[in-house]
Chain A
Amino acid sequence: MSWTRKFLRVNLTSGAITEEALNMQWAHDYLGQRGLATRYLVDEIDPACDALGPDNKMIMTTGPLTGTIASTGGRYSVVCKSPLTGTVACSNSGGFFGAELKFAGWDMIIFEGKAATPMYLSIEDDVATLLPADDLWGKTVWEADKMLRQKHQDPQTKIACVGRSAEEGCLYSAIVNDLHRAAGRSGVGTVMASKNLKAVIVRGTKGLGGIQDPKRFLQVTKDAKKVLADNAVTGQGLPAYGTQVLMNVINEVGALPTRNMRETQFEGASNVGGEAMHEPRKSDGKPNLTTNGACFSCTIACGRISTIDRTHFSVKDKPEYWINSGGLEYEAAWALGPDTGVDDIDALTYVNFLCNEDGMDPISFGSTVAAAMELFETGAITTEQTGGVELKFGSAEALCWAAEMTAKGEGFGIDLGLGSKRLCEKYGKPELSMTVKGQEFPAYDPRGIQGMGLAYATANRGACHLRGYTVASEILGIPEKTDPLESDGKAGLVKAFQDATAAVDSAGLCVFTTFAWTMDDIAPQVDAACEGDWSTERMMEVGERIWNLEKDFNQKAGITGADDTLPERLLKEAANTGPAKGRVNELDKMLPEYYQLRGYSTDGSMTDETRQKWALPS
């Protein structure tokens, strides 16, 4: 075993906290983390429930390798029904919180109900206590973190917390742990705040026992670390440039969505990419990037720690932001930059800080601002709504203002907190929302990367790059290069990426390892740690089972094949520059084959046969 075999159930309505034994049959069928928690969610909630009502549950969950010496073995996920999409939500985070939860002796925490007044959960090994959080409510993540540390006086305490945006109902609020790592997507923070739960703090001193075959585990994790170290991507590229190395790549191949996805190349990309983060500033001679950073047990260290130019307009009167903190990752930099037309790297970094400080998903926030900017351009939104602010593409000042307002949930920030879909519907132009199932797109234009169109359309949590990252193959040549402008063969590629990723997300590992590792590197680590036979084939089988479990949840929540689509802009308005010039996404050519490979009906429905094949719960 490498599960602790027990979890906490916290009923926020009654205040009851109970210990329960982990369902080991489910652990064998769904591994852990994303898969296992989804199995519990499916068992315990009505998929049609109100995501922000007390009937939704929120599960903080680790994988069997979380807390181990396996490289990147520090991940945890938050699983619930999403208020943004109405689908299953599963947001994955690094940092140190997940490992600490495991060290305290717990695989998961299931939160249910709703507290009458603000509370936080404190866990010290076996002792879990709900405590009043009235003084923390209304505070930012960073303020609450500081107050909790002063109160509990243990520097090793790990904290996951929601900010003001979640309290104010912003539908894409994140749960931020360790100050700047986040379970970012789909509004899992909004669900946490809807339960009047402000924070979870954990201290675990038990370490981690129960590795099935310790000697073999030491060997296979050592071998796997060497693979990461010897690989140019995970050994050199990611530590040096982070994910931001992609900014110039994706722009060059003509797949960088720009100005609310109207264009596919951004003239200012080189000002906000990974290379630019290394350039010394004129003002103080320092670069934006201070250093890289790693999450628990990670030997890649792709994280960015940045500083903002103190003379920059965004912070010149705010010394509290003259700090080293979590810097720009590619997806955030894209949404805040090219998608809004802003090429001011200090402005993007400031807004990124605000997203961490008040717990907002920077992808959804940036994409929503981009939609708002296009609405402003069309006249659907005017200075009447913005209080005089010229919400124009390219305006760094407007972007910073929008972040401040949304973080606090004030003024037009309340509208921005709706997300792109609801914002565009409110102002009468739903066609301007660049979303799938209500979730905003990440940083790859599916006109220039055909497989990503199918990956977005079919992802079980709405538009998402992390459910099937075919960019790896189509652009980056990992594991092998495919033509990004070709839609043939992409159905199988998307399915393979989706299934493999579901398994990795359920193991406690970071998906970035898969730039170097194949499942043949991952399976032996799970196999050495866990009871049972965890071959490559079984890992892929578990991944496919998890995918179908999520799909089935969505179907029961009312999501249909008609929702497996893309905005008309991407299907009908051709890219106007770059290699994809003249192309749209050919979703209609890929979707039928995908459904066939999945064993779904031609309208995209889960069939009884497929449900039985995977022994999904009825």
Chain B
Amino acid sequence: MSLRRPFEPASDSFYIMKITFKLFATLQHLLPPGAVKNAVTIEVSDDASMHDIIDQFKVPRELAHLVLINGVFYCEADRDQAKILKEDDVLAIWPPVAGG
């Protein structure tokens, strides 16, 4: 599905990229309709940070505990940075969870 860009671009040099967005556990209800198996393809500006997307989907930041890009964890400090997310990346988010 196509979604509005989360914010106005800083310059005209942006372009739209597709990523896979996943929300799990008690966050999964925040996924838009059309999500299958907790995943949906979204279009975002190529300079979107993780927090831009987290905010756009109304995921409370304090519940975005595990934030993974292609399975690799990114800490709070990284989540405001642009240009970490790349075309075709998978952004997956969990609230605090555990098991075993």
Contact = CB atoms under 8 A, between A and B. Distances in A.
A245 B25 contact: yes
B70 interface: yes
Interface in A231-259: 231-233, 236-238, 240-246, 248-249, 252-254
Interface in A269-290: 270-271, 274-275
A237 B37 contact: no
A511 B65 CA distance: 21
Nearest to A231: B96
Contacts of B96: 231-233, 237, 476-478
Nearest to B68: A252
A270 B63 CA distance: 21
B33 interface: no
Given A248-B24, A275-B38, A477-B96, 15 more contacts: A232-B63, A232-B95, A232-B96, A236-B26, A237-B95, A237-B96, A245-B99, A248-B38, A249-B94, A253-B71, A275-B25, A330-B99, A476-B66, A483-B73, A579-B70
A331 B96 CA distance: 19
Interface string B1-39: 000000000000000000000101110100000000110
Interface of A: 231-233, 236-238, 240-246, 248-249, 252-254, 270-271, 274-275, 302, 329-331, 465-466, 469, 471-472, 475-478, 481, 483, 511-512, 515, 578-579
Residue from A238, A242, A469, A476 with most neighbouring chain B CB atoms (10 Å): A476
Question: SS class of chain A's interface: helix, strand, loop or mixed?
Answer: helix
Nearest to B39: A270
Interface residues of B, number: 25
Residue from A252, A330, A511, A578 with most neighbouring chain B CB atoms (10 Å): A252
Contact of B66 (A241, A471, A477, A483): A477
A244 B66 contact: no
Contact of B100 (A240, A270, A331): A331
Contacts of A511: 100
B70 A233 contact: no
A244 B99 contact: yes
B97 A241 contact: yes
Nearest to B95: A232
A481 B77 CA distance: 13
Residue from B25, B73, B96, B97 with most neighbouring chain A CB atoms (10 Å): B97
5 contacts: A232-B63, A240-B25, A245-B99, A472-B100, A511-B100
Contacts of A476: 66, 96-98
B42 to A, nearest CB: 17
Nearest to A265: B71
Interface in B66-82: 66, 68, 70-73, 75
Contacts of A249: 24, 66, 94, 97
Nearest to B36: A270
Nearest to B24: A248
B92 interface: yes
A465 B100 contact: yes
A232 B71 contact: no
Contacts of B68: 252-253
B97 A246 contact: yes
A243 B95 contact: no
A246 B26 contact: no
Contact of B97 (A233, A469, A483): A233
B72 A232 contact: no
Nearest to B94: A249
Nearest to A485: B72
A242 B95 CA distance: 14
Contact of B24 (A233, A245, A472, A475): A245
A183 B37 CA distance: 34
Contact of A237 (B28, B72, B75, B98): B98
Nearest to A274: B25
A-B complex: 5 closest residue pairs judged by Cβ atoms: A243-B99, A232-B96, A246-B99, A515-B98, A579-B71
B75 A481 contact: yes
A238 B99 contact: yes
B84 to A, nearest CB: 15
